[in-house]
Structure 1
Amino acid sequence: MDKLRKALSGEEQEEEERGNIITQVVDSSTLSWSTRVKGFAICFGVGFLFSILGSALFFLPKGVILFGIFYTLGNVMALSSTCFLMGPMNQLKKMFSKTRIVATIIMFTALILTLVAAFAVKKKALTLLLVIIQFLAMTWYSLSYIPYARDAAKKCFASCIDA
């Protein structure tokens, strides 16, 4: 369980400098670590189900509004699930760090524009394009938490293009 805590905190190297970060987070919160993990799992699972439900609703007549709502809510739920692990303030600090700021802005812009396209414009093609942008921005943002994952993704994409 300690390895999971260290991996999720993302601060293994700085642990020696600032003490045990997990102990600090757990001590400063009213939630226990097991409650945090359960909250994360439930919130992420509900977000995943909302995204799947939204995808299924896309193909119904006039389902573009429901698709936009459920898919976007699913992504917001999945993104906010990490607040259980890190805490909301730490999550916001990490989201707007130098390495993630562009992906975060694109992700939030795509989330908002998806809802606007679904409600106001009601065009399936535009909504689908914005969901694809949302997915790519969320993927790029998520890869930033894994060391060297963005470099690996770039190389993989480049090799697919060159082939």
Structure 2
Amino acid sequence: MDKLKKALSGEDEEESGIVTQISDASSLSWETRIKGFIVCFVLGIILSVLGSCLLWLGSKGLILFAVFYTFGNLLSLASTCFLMGPVKQLKKMFAKTRVIATILVLVMFVLTLVCAFALKNAALTLVCCVLQFIALTWYSLSYIPYARDAVKKCFSSCIE
């Protein structure tokens, strides 16, 4: 019936690309999107806190901390895909205003895991986790109008 309406109204030309097909097949109700966002975000926080608790377990604690902390942050970041959809989320992530922040976040995710698994350097892993937190904060501030400008002014006034 929808195709008939589109044909009669002159909207017969529609995209039949794979993205459109996936979007049509996986459209979720707003209630389901909110539930998915909350579940992913809460699981991300739980993984990050669990990782922080595992830090003190000894030699394996560092690797567990890096893995849980990084995947927790990644899951929390991915939770927003439920709210706006994965394609729109990726477009916003790599928009001109936040592409550098996005790349820094992704690089810090990788560096944290490399320092924990390959280098097995506790100090460097902790530094990467702190930098990961700062990069995620800067990325998150990019969604709030004028927030990054306010932070810059705050830190520049503290330095002077």
CA distance in structure 2 between the partners assigned to 1:147 and 1:44 by the alignment = 22
**For residue 106 of structure 2, what is the aligned residue in structure 1?**
108
User: Mind listing any 5+ residue stretches in structure 2 that lack a counterpart?
Assistant: 1-22
Alignment of 1:149 with 2:147, yes or no, is yes
Q: Which secondary structure state, in structure 1, belongs to the residue aligned with residue 115 of structure 2?
A: helix
Please give the alpha-carbon distance, in whole angstroms, between the structure 2 residues aligned to 1:137 and 1:28. 34
The two structures, once aligned, show a CA RMSD in angstroms of 1.6
Once the two structures are superposed, residues 42-68 of structure 1 have per-residue CA deviations (whole angstroms, 9 ceiling, x without a partner) of 100000111111111112201110011
Partner of 2:38: 41
Q: What is the Cα deviation at residue 115 of structure 1? A: 0.6
Aligned equivalent of 1:86, options 75, 80, 84: 84
- Give the distance between the partners of 1:29 and 1:152, measured in 2 at CA: 39
Partner of 1:67: 65
Please identify, of 77-86 and 119-128, the stretch whose mean Cα deviation from structure 2 is larger. Answer: 119-128
Query: What amino acid maps onto 1:109 in structure 2?
Result: V
Give the superposition deviation at 1:135: 0.7
| Secondary structure of residue in 1 paired with 2:77 | helix
Corresponding residue of 2:20: none
Measure, in 2, the Cα distance between the counterparts of 1:126 and 1:148: 32
* Shift in Å, 1:155: 1.5
Q: Return the letter of the residue paired with 1:156.
A: C
**What does residue 126 of structure 1 align with?**
124
Measured after TM superposition, the shift of residue 29 of structure 1 is 5.5
Structure number with bigger Rg: 2
Render the CA deviation track for 1:82-124: whole Å, top value 9, x for unaligned.
0000100000000001111111111101101111111111111
The 1-side partners of 2:71 and 2:26 are apart by 26
Please give the residue correspondences for 1:131-142 in structure 2 after superposition, counting only pairs within 5 Å: 131-142=129-140
Residue 160 of structure 1: CA displacement? 2.8
- Secondary structure of the structure 1 residue equivalent to 2:57: coil
Q: Give, in whole Å, the separation in 2 of the partners of 1:71 and 1:161.
A: 31
Shift of the alpha carbon at 1:132?
Answer: 1.0
SS at 1:58's partner residue? helix
Q: Distance in 2 between matches of 1:67 and 1:109?
A: 18
